Amino acid sequence: MSISNASILKDGVIGVTGGTTTALSSLGNTLNENSVVFDGTGLLDRSTGSFVAKAPAKTASSPNGYTQARNTMVLRFPKTLASGEIVFNTARVQLAFDVETTTAEKETVRGMVAQFLSDDDFDAYWNDQVVL
């Protein structure tokens, strides 16, 4: 389906059903970052995730005196090619909110982003790189 003909729900309920539970195991963390491993045990065959949280900071150049809070998640999934080479498919999600954004407003944005990632209206975009 064309992106220009797609639709999403504002304040819709997003949920995941089915599948198999995969536990996350910590690879280590710092003050603002936590790295995890899931789905695999070897160095080259495991999927990994990195979760970073950046708190707002005071600044004179921002409209309200603070930078935006940023949460970034990077997931890497190994893929063994027919040649035997291993490559990593990567998904990166970053949400940045002004400090005055309410929890309800953040949840609305997260729900809309989830639809862009999972609704079949966007399959042509994600699978075939069709942007029209």
List, for residues 55-91, the tens digit of each pLDDT value: 888 888 878 888 899 999 999 999 999 999 999 999 9
Which domains are delineated in the chain? 29-98 (3.30.380.10), 102-132 (no CATH)
pTM of this prediction?
Answer: 0.79
DSSP for 20-61 reads: -----EEEEE-SSEEEEEES--STTT-EEEEEEEE---B-SS
Residue tagged 């999403």 (tokens): 8
pLDDT band at 95; cut points 50, 70, 90: very high
Write out the two tokens for 64: 């309200």
* pLDDT > 70? residue 1: no
Question: Residues of the chain with pLDDT > 70: what percent?
Answer: 98
* pLDDT > 80? residue 28: no
Distance of CA 23 to the CA centre of its chain: 17
Residue 106, pLDDT score = 94
Mean pLDDT, residues 98-106 taken together: 93
Pick the closest to residue 70 from 29, 32, 35, 30 (CA basis): 32
Which residues, 6 or more positions from 51, have their beta carbon under 8 angstroms from its beta carbon?
Answer: 33, 34, 35, 36, 71, 72, 73
Mean pLDDT, residues 125-131 taken together: 88
